[in-house]
Amino acid sequence: IEMQFLPDVYVPCEVCKGQRYNRETLEIRYKGKTIADVLEMTVEEALRFFENIPAIKNKLVTLHSVGLGYIRLGQSATTLSGGEAQRVKLSAELSRRATGRTLYILDEPTTGLHFADVQRLLDVLNRLVEAGNTVLIIEHNLDVVKGADWIIDLGPEGGDAGGWVIAEGTPEQVAKMPQSYTGQFLRRWLGAA
């Protein structure tokens, strides 16, 4: 019986005790760690563990650079927030060979990020733009908004009371537009910067 109003329930396997591998597989060790031990590592811990294996390290560096150093390697994708899932996809994209002709569309990628990780994400996004790519971001975080090349502010309110272009321009131009709520906050934000 499917009961969608209840959260999923997970019961650890009696054989592997939730480690996802059989006994024979868990007997194999690398630097004293089983695959289950490795999957319990955070990205940051795994970076140190695999520092001498460039193929693995490079993938981990991209995850870390988009602010995901805290997630566990074996963490289920269903437990990631929307912002985390977007950053995993962005990390995968960063691992590929760059073409300089890609359009990236991100919906509030800073959700749940510590301010230091927001800056790390901005550095990555700026590198994408400098490489010739285009990054379009739907975002409320003023650190992101003030760093944009161009802002399109929709409103005047949210939901049914919104959807109209209220202001557009550089952050400095939008900050001077009194009809823009974003501009009002941006004006104070830019003044403090």
- For the chain, domain boundaries: 141-193
Closest CA to 170 of 156, 152, 144: 152
pTM value > 0.85: no
Look at strands 164-169 and 134-138 and give their pairing: unpaired
And the tokens for 166?
């209220």
The C-alpha atoms of residue 117 and residue 54 are separated, in whole angstroms, by 24
Q: In whole angstroms, what separates CA 173 from the centre of its chain? A: 28
Model pLDDT, residue 193:
53
Residues of the chain scoring pLDDT < 50: none
The C-alpha atoms of residue 188 and residue 168 are separated, in whole angstroms, by 18
